[in-house]
Each structure stands twice: as C-alpha cells, then as structure tokens.
Amino acid sequence: MIHAGRKTVHAVAWNYASFALSKGVVLITMAVLTRLLPPETFGIVSLATIIISYFSLLQDLGLGSALIQQRNDVQEAANTVYAANLVIGILFFLFTFAIAPAVAVFFRAPAVEPMLRILALTFLIDPFGSVHIALLQRDLAFRKKLIPDLGRLLIKAVVTIVLAVKGFGAWSLIIGQLSSSLSGVILARIALRQKLRMRIKKPQLGRLLKFSIPFMAFNLINALVSNIEFIVIGRTLGDAALGIYSITYRIVDLLIMNVWVVLAGAMFPALATIQHQPHLLRRAFLSVTQYVQVFIVPISLGLIITAEPIVKVLLGAQWLGAIPILRLLPVAFLIFSIGTTAGDIYKAIGRPALLLKMGILHIMILIPLLLVGVQYQLVGVALSLIATAFLVKIVHLFVIVRVIGVTVSELMRALRPAFVGGTALTIVTTPLVYSIGDQPPVVQLLVAGVTGAAAYFGTLWLLEKEVVIKGANTILDAVRR
C-alpha cells in the first residue's frame, strides 16, 4: 500500500496535470478575447457572474464534500445527493431569475438582467454531472476527471472566440459559459459510466447534512470573501475598473490560487481514507504543504517581477492599467496559500466548523479594510487584500499548530525549500528584468523565465537536493500508475 503522504501527492500530481492543461487553455483564450473585447465588456459580464459564482459555491449545500467523505453505503448516498442537487438547482434557478431585475438596479446596469437570467440555466444543467465529478474525486480517479475538466474548457474556448469574432460582444462570454456547463455534464457522464437514481433516503440525507451544513456555512462565508471586492468595485468604480480587476484577478487565480484549489480536490478524498490516523494526517499535510509552496512561490514571484511584460504580451495595450494590480495581488495570494490545505484536514477529521470560524474571522477583517481601500482605486483594493491575508494568516497558523499537532519548526522546515529558492530567484531576476526593459516584452518574459527557473531550481538542487529528487520520483511514479 502506498504511504498516505505519497498517495496524496500522486493524486495531486494528476489533479495538477489536469489543472495545468485546463488553465493553459484558459490563458490562451483570455489572450485572444482581451484583444477582441474591451475591459468594459468583461466588467459588465462580471457583474452577472458575481451572482452566479456566489450561488454556485452553495449549490450542493456541501453534499458533494460529504459524499467524498462517506465511507459506507456510497451508492445510496450518491443517489441521494444526485436527487437533492437537482431540487436545489431548480430552487436556485427560480430565485436567480426572480432577483435579476434587482441586481441590475443595484449595479446600475440594465444589461445585467437578461445575462443573469440566461446564466441561471447552469443551475439546471450542472446537477446532472456534479455527483459524477464528486465520485471521481472520491476514488482519486483524476486521470478520468481530466476528460470533463479539459474538454469543457476547449469547447467553451471555441464557442466564445467564434462568437466574439462574429460580433456577439458580451453575449459571446455568456453563451460560452453555458456551453461549458452542458459539455461538462456530458463528458463527466462519459468519464464515469455509473447509473444514478433520483432517490432521496431521509436517513442518508440526514447523515450527509450533519457533515455538510457547517461546510455549507463555510462556503457561504467563503463565497462572500471571494466576491465581495468585485461587488464593491462594480458598485463604486464602474465597468472598466471591474473589467481590469476581474481579468487581473483571473490571471493570479489561474496561476496561484488554483494550485491549492487543485490540491484540495486531491487532498481531501485522500485524507478522508486515513481520517482516524492522526500521525499519517500530519505527515501527509507537511508533505503536500512543502510541494505546494515549491510550486506557488516561484509563480508568485514571477508574476510580481514580470508584471509589465506579462500584461503587454498576454492582454495587450488597452490593459496597461492591470500592471500595478498584477504586482500586488500575488503577494496576498502567496500569504493566503501558506498552510491553507489544513482546511482539508479539518474536513477529513469531521471538524468543518473550524473552517466556518476562520471564514467569519476573514470576512470581519476584510470588509472594513476593503471599504477603506476602494477609496484609493484598484491599488487600494489590492493593498486591503494583502493586509487581510497577513492578519488572517497569523490566526490560521496558530490554529494549525494547535489542532493538527504540527510544530512550528516542522512547518518552517516544510516551507524552507520554496523560500530559499524564491530568495535566489528574486535576487537574480529582479535586476535582470530592469536591465533589459528596452527589449520587446516577449524577449523580457523568455529571458526572465529561463533565468528565474534556473536560479530557483538550481538553488533547490544545491541546497535541497533531496526535496527535488523525491518530488521528481513521486511525479514519475504517479504518471506510471
């Protein structure tokens, strides 16, 4: 039997492969669309997707996570979640359809009303594939999960770009999202050919809800945390500012935040299998924390150092206002990423209420800082996120040490390789980028990327060779399995 920590990293390797391919498609699509559509278009669509994104995080009431955590009567639980998800989806569709006019009035944007009502159709579509995705995660079948993950994005990219070229404007983004939902359901059912029945067993639903209700409450808070700055920007700074912020945020989200989101998708089901073995949970947590930071640190620093050429190459001249934001947001995301995967430990051991408490603390700190920061435009918003990340992380690390039993010295040893390599990357790459500032942006990115990678991984090889070898062997083993 593969050691729990190693098994978890195997799952992470495949889940990250899915992430890397999928987000590569998203970045290419973004590079095309930002040259076809102005910031205002992305801003107006973001106003509609804010609501959809918020409800989407709540759509299954945490039942998907409860299903992953379930150890017995899995088929019966899957049938119950399948039926419950459809009922919930219908309710969310009706509610979203009804509030669309009020949302349009709140944002002073009449175009939001029809967009929101069309996007609400995703609540009726997604339930037909969500349980299949949860079961794939539960079984750590991330090779199969790659089919819907990548396929839906390829279809969305083609549909959106074709419609944008034909002059559909904002509607190209709306219709592209619908095509993503529909194709995702079809491909999920192809990847997992398991028959599900819409049959709710009340005792089973009660057991699932006992786990999922605290998790759902956390999702409620987390959804607010994830969307509150978009609401504030859209209400106070307008469509163009929201368009710039939303695209910049998406870049950082794709390259940094999704690393730990992808990790959570692989780590939680793996940890659920060893939920009664604390020493294995601690070891798995430290192992995965180490390798997540090995990924996140160089990406974060790379975005900060090369923000200007990235914007010029990826987005184009009309998006230069994104440069200062791209230099600040990675700082907040990097701080948030440290030890964040402890949340999956809390879920695995059946203590999701801890996530709720952390979420409440987060929102209590974020809202007042954000209301002050928005007075200083987008830069002020980004700085408020950095301050929030710092304050929340202090408390978060204290909870990790107390609950999981990981010592501060163990955590520092896990973080050491990434930050040693990151120091070398910063020292070498920062002056280099400024010295070649007169070169074309593509050249700047290539030179900085190659030099930064050489400095980072070269330093790891010299000072942390064991980490590099172990990580490479784990990834190779995962690919062979």
Question: Is the model's pLDDT at 17 over the cut of 90?
Answer: no
Residue 474 has pLDDT above 80, yes or no: no
d(CA 264, CA 254): 15
In this predicted structure, the answer to whether residue 297 has a pLDDT above a threshold of 90 is yes
Model confidence at 289: pLDDT above 90: no
The residues, any chain, with a CB within 8 Å of residue 156's CB and separated by 6 or more, are 29, 176, 177, 179, 180, 183
> Mean of the pLDDT values across residues 217-226?
73
* Both tokens assigned to 226: 């994830």
Torsion sign over Cα 401, 366, 301, 31 = positive
Each residue's pLDDT tens digit, 402-455: 877 788 888 888 889 999 999 999 999 999 998 998 899 999 999 999 999 999
Highest mean pLDDT: which range of 49-53, 288-292, 296-300, 360-364: 296-300
- Tell me how far apart the alpha carbons of residues 98 and 163 are, in angstroms, rounded to a whole number: 28
CB burial string 135-161: b at 16+ within 10 A, e below: bbbbebbbbbbbbbbbbbbebbbebbb
* Average pLDDT estimate for 367-377: 94
Portion of the chain with pLDDT greater than 90, in percent: 40
Q: Mean pLDDT score of the chain, rounded to an integer?
A: 82
Query: Which pLDDT band holds residue 471 (cuts at 50, 70, 90)?
Result: low
pLDDT of 67-87, one tens digit each?
Answer: 666 656 667 777 887 888 888
Give yes or no for residue 394 having a pLDDT over 50. Answer: yes
Confidence check: pLDDT of 473 > 70: no
pLDDT digits (tens, 9 = 90+) for 270-279: 554 555 566 7
Least confident range of 244-248, 289-293, 338-342, 429-433: 338-342
Q: What is the pLDDT of residue 318?
A: 86
pLDDT at 382 over 90: yes
Q: Does the pLDDT of residue 207 top 70, yes or no?
A: no
Place of tokens 């904002």: 170
Contact between 275 and 349 under an 8 Å Cβ cutoff? The reply is: yes
pLDDT by residue (tens digit) across 103-137? 999 998 899 999 999 999 999 998 898 878 877 77
User: Which residue's structure tokens are 């579509």?
Assistant: 125
- CA dist., res. 197 & res. 179, Å (int): 25
pTM over 0.85: no
Widest CA span in the chain: 68
Q: Count CA atoms within 13 Å of residue 303 on its CB side.
A: 29
Q: Is the pLDDT assigned to residue 212 strictly greater than 50?
A: yes
Q: Is 80 exceeded by the pLDDT of residue 258?
A: no
pLDDT at 332 over 90: yes
Q: What is the spatial distance between Cα 138 and Cα 135, in angstroms, rounded to a whole number?
A: 5
State the pLDDT confidence band at 257, using cuts at 50, 70 and 90. confident
HEC string for the chain: CCCHHHHHHHHHHHHHHHHHHHHHHHHHHHHHHHHHCCHHHHHHHHHHHHHHHHHHHHCCCCHHHHHHHCCCCHHHHHHHHHHHHHHHHHHHHHHHHHHHHHHHHHCCCCCHHHHHHHHCCHHHHCHHHHHHHHHHHHCCCHHHHHHHHHHHHHHHHHHHHHHHHCCCCHHHHHHHHHHHHHHHHHHHHHHCCCCCCCCCCHHHHHHHHHHHHHHHHHHHHHHHHHHHHHHHHHHHCCHHHHHHHHHHHHHHHHHHHHHHHHHHHHHHHHHHCCCCCHHHHHHHHHHHHHHHHHHHHHHHHHHHHCHHHHHHHHCCHHHHHHHHHHHHHHHHHHHHHCCCCHHHHHHHCCCCHHHHHHHHHHHHHHHHHHHHHHHHHHHHHHHHHHHHHHHHHHHHHHHHHHHHCCCHHHHHHHHHHHHHHHHHHHHHHHHHHHHCCCCCHHHHHHHHHHHHHHHHHHHHHHHCHHHHHHHHHHHHHHHHC
pLDDT reported for residue 390: 93
- At 268, the pLDDT band (50, 70, 90 cuts) reads very low
